[in-house]
Chain A
Amino acid sequence: MTDFIFLIPLMPLVGFTILFCTLGNLPKPWVAFVGVGSIGTSALIVALLGVEFLSTKDHAPILVHLYTWMNLGGFQPGFSFYVDGLTLTMMFVITGVGLLIHIYSSLFMQDDEDYSRFFSYMNLFVAAMLVLVLADNLLLLFLGWEGVGLCSYLLVGFWYQDPANGVAARKAFIVTRIGDTFMALGLFLLYMHLGTLDIQAMVDKAALTWVTGDTTVTLACLLLVGGAVGKSAQLPLQTWLPDAMAGPTPVSALIHAATMVTAGVYLIARTHELFLLSPVALNVVAIIGATTLLMAAFTALTQSDIKRILAYSTISQIGYMFLALGVGAWASGIFHLMTHAFFKALLFLAAGAVIYSLHHEHNIFKMGGLRARLPVAFWSFLIGSAALAALPFTSGFYSKDAILLSAWQSGPLGPGLWAAGLLGALLTAVYSFRLVFIVFFGEVKTVPDKPAGWLMAGPLVILCGLSLVGGWFIIPVSQVFPAAADVSHDGLIPIITPAIPILGVVLAWLIFLRRSVDVSGLTESTWGKALTHFWFSHWKMDWLYDHLFVKPYSFITYLNRRDIVDWFYNALAEVLWFVHDIAATSQTGQLRTYAVVMLFGVVTLIGIFIGVRLT
């Protein structure tokens, strides 16, 4: 299958080209065929490639060099694809989950006028994402990185007729661009010191160039982390993701839950040899992860928009992945990436089914008692939330458990990180089952009258299965990452870790369903209200950035509204206009004036001529 690797990103690109060039003139069934078929072909190739790769004994990486992109003074980034266990896992998630989401979208977006535009962007996204994970050098990775950023912008602002969606799209684009700038600087720094951006050659050279803890490698790693936090919506650049929910729900499922937002995790995992040289950068990653997962979990607890709850939960879960990377549990981080892709895509698609049936109703307090009316969505939500909360024997349990146990054993910071992760797990269980209990139990508030078809139910059922059994998958990354330290199973830790989510579910049950624990006294108190509001606004991050960056910037632009630089050029133009006005008075428009002036001139010239000859 090695010869067909280039087809994996090419097929979605071809799909994009067809849909883009036909300008929406294709009939909808054809659009769906092209849009879903291209991803399906890629998924098939990935599956066959996976079978072939796993049947080899040593899981040797495959390198496919297509052509040299450019050749500038020894700098030769190529269109080269590098396939190892990590790439394969990512491709499996992207094409597998991507295919299910595309199938789901073919029905979900049925009534949309821009059906073709939607699928063309989605295909372009999948192509860019596949380039990102297949790239063997950081420049090609950056190409895919920017490509997915572009598609995210296009799809968040998909319903551009509403200006608010355009604002959300621009916010997503600009905030991630800040991270991308850091990443580009990181690439420059790495190239300056190592002379190559080829990942495998780079890490080999890095180990020879730098000793562990070198300042330069720490700086380079921190710059890469800057790019990763932007793309993966981690502190301090996480503010764009909740607003990105303005896009269609399948977009949120594919881009803002399963694939693109995990690109930062992939980047750090891919360059983990660099990070191993810099313990400081690793600690930063772990602390960012732990802080973000707690902040986002608290915020998710107070939200009322079904998609925003899931968005904050995504930020929180990526926080777990960062935590895993930071404590060196690379395989656990990638494992959680995969299981998260399953259950979060499931949750988003189920939320989409609810929203679809209720005619774009997002507020969970206007839903209720949907259990009997929307059984597929209910079971999907239940299974997805169980996996999200890491209840035992669901997929999320295995990945989150591994992360928390690794965190516990990771040096001096370990217990703190473990405690943060555990508190996060408790909150995760509470907010995810708060959502389930409010939306699907209790009294019926809105009656759904638009049942979802099997094209939507099918992917949900498959993702339910994956969310349940995904924990038993073994991802083939043992050759990619250094072996993790053996997680010891002594003491109370392995018992506490899985018990906490169950406690959270019980808590949610008591508060939101049985209502036997009344928390209104707590939330209605002055402090409770203030805290709820503080959490609801995501720790006032938007407010802070607004006052820290947007307002001062607007003030500076206000001061400079006449553009100081232009003053000089405007003055120059003024002088020229003045001279022009003087000269223009000689232009009378009278033929005889011109004739007289001409005569005068000729006489003068002849006079001078004669005068010169005579003397």
Chain B
Amino acid sequence: MTEAVTIPMEHGLLLAGILFLIGLLGVLVRRNIILILMSLEIMLNACGLAFIVVGAHWGIADGQVMFMLILAIAAAEVSVGLGLLLQVYRRIGTLDIDAASRMRG
């Protein structure tokens, strides 16, 4: 077996952090609900990446277990999120999240 090329943990965490911020920024600035959902997915995957990286660094399986959990949660979140999205569209007639502000005040 050849020596595996190891990626330094710092690089992995940095990538995860950058992905998380990109996702967060997407959630904050986007108005289209679909894009907000996609941004959320990016954030979730950034978390998953962080778990994998840390798990690999410490050589334990917990990180991968957590990633599987996050995958499951993400799937559930998307299905619920898409359902909500459809309802929002049906009631408001647009996918603009700023239009769904009836609960203010």
Do the two chains belong together in a single complex?
A: yes
A interface with B by C-beta (< 8 Å) = 584-585, 587-592, 595-596, 599
Q: Which residues of A contact B103 (CB under 8 A)?
A: 587, 589
Whether B56 sits at the interface, judged by CB under 8 Å, is no
Q: Let me know if B101 and A584 touch, CB within 8 A.
A: no
> Which of B28, B36, B97, B104 is close to A588, meaning CB atoms less than 8 Å apart?
B104
Whether B77 sits at the interface, judged by CB under 8 Å, is no
For chain B residues 31-57, which have a beta carbon within 8 Å of chain A?
36
In the complex, what's the smallest C-beta–C-beta distance from B105 to chain A, in angstroms? Answer: 5
Q: Let me know if B100 and A584 touch, CB within 8 A.
A: no
Q: Let me know if A590 and B104 touch, CB within 8 A.
A: yes
Instruction: Known pairs A589-B102, A591-B36, A591-B100; list 15 more (Cβ under 8 Å).
Output: A584-B105, A587-B103, A587-B104, A587-B105, A589-B100, A589-B101, A589-B103, A590-B101, A590-B104, A591-B98, A595-B27, A595-B28, A596-B28, A599-B24, A599-B28
In the complex, what's the smallest C-beta–C-beta distance from A353 to chain B, in angstroms? Answer: 73
Closest to A590 in B: B101
B interface with A by C-beta (< 8 Å) = 24, 27-29, 36, 97-98, 100-105
Q: Which residues of B contact A595 (CB under 8 A)?
A: 27-28
In the complex, A584 Cα to B103 Cα: how many Å? 10
In the complex, A587 Cα to B24 Cα: how many Å? 21
In the complex, A599 Cα to B20 Cα: how many Å? 12
Q: Which residues of B contact A587 (CB under 8 A)?
A: 103-105
Q: Let me know if B27 and A585 touch, CB within 8 A.
A: no
In the complex, A376 Cα to B23 Cα: how many Å? 104
Q: Which residues of B contact A599 (CB under 8 A)?
A: 24, 28
Q: List 26 A-B contacts (CB under 8 A).
A: A584-B105, A587-B103, A587-B104, A587-B105, A588-B101, A588-B104, A589-B100, A589-B101, A589-B102, A589-B103, A589-B104, A589-B105, A590-B98, A590-B101, A590-B104, A591-B36, A591-B97, A591-B98, A591-B100, A592-B27, A592-B28, A592-B29, A595-B27, A596-B28, A599-B24, A599-B28
- List of 9 A-B pairs having minimum Cβ-Cβ separation, nearest first: A589-B104, A589-B101, A589-B103, A591-B97, A588-B104, A584-B105, A592-B28, A595-B27, A587-B104
Q: Which residues of A contact B36 (CB under 8 A)?
A: 591
Q: Which residues of A contact B105 (CB under 8 A)?
A: 584-585, 587, 589
Q: Which residues of A contact B27 (CB under 8 A)?
A: 592, 595
In the complex, A596 Cα to B24 Cα: how many Å? 9
Q: Which residues of B contact A590 (CB under 8 A)?
A: 98, 101, 104
Q: Which residues of B contact A596 (CB under 8 A)?
A: 28
Closest to B98 in A: A590
In the complex, A305 Cα to B29 Cα: how many Å? 88
Closest to B104 in A: A589
In the complex, what's the smallest C-beta–C-beta distance from A544 to chain B, in angstroms? Answer: 59
In the complex, A591 Cα to B98 Cα: how many Å? 7
Closest to B31 in A: A592
In the complex, what's the smallest C-beta–C-beta distance from A297 to chain B, in angstroms? Answer: 74
In the complex, A589 Cα to B96 Cα: how many Å? 13
Q: Which residues of A contact B100 (CB under 8 A)?
A: 589, 591
Q: Which residues of B contact A584 (CB under 8 A)?
A: 105
Q: Which residues of A contact B104 (CB under 8 A)?
A: 587-590
In the complex, A591 Cα to B102 Cα: how many Å? 11
In the complex, what's the smallest C-beta–C-beta distance from A2 to chain B, in angstroms? Answer: 76
In the complex, what's the smallest C-beta–C-beta distance from B17 to chain A, in angstroms? Answer: 13
Closest to B103 in A: A589
In the complex, A591 Cα to B101 Cα: how many Å? 8
In the complex, A525 Cα to B100 Cα: how many Å? 87
In the complex, what's the smallest C-beta–C-beta distance from B16 to chain A, in angstroms? Answer: 16
Q: Which residues of B contact A589 (CB under 8 A)?
A: 100-105
In the complex, what's the smallest C-beta–C-beta distance from A91 to chain B, in angstroms? Answer: 72
In the complex, what's the smallest C-beta–C-beta distance from A596 to chain B, in angstroms? Answer: 6
Q: Which residues of A contact B98 (CB under 8 A)?
A: 590-591
In the complex, A201 Cα to B6 Cα: how many Å? 106
In the complex, what's the smallest C-beta–C-beta distance from A601 to chain B, in angstroms? Answer: 14
Closest to A585 in B: B105
In the complex, A237 Cα to B102 Cα: how many Å? 63
Closest to A581 in B: B105
In the complex, what's the smallest C-beta–C-beta distance from A598 to chain B, in angstroms? Answer: 10
Closest to B28 in A: A592
Closest to A596 in B: B28
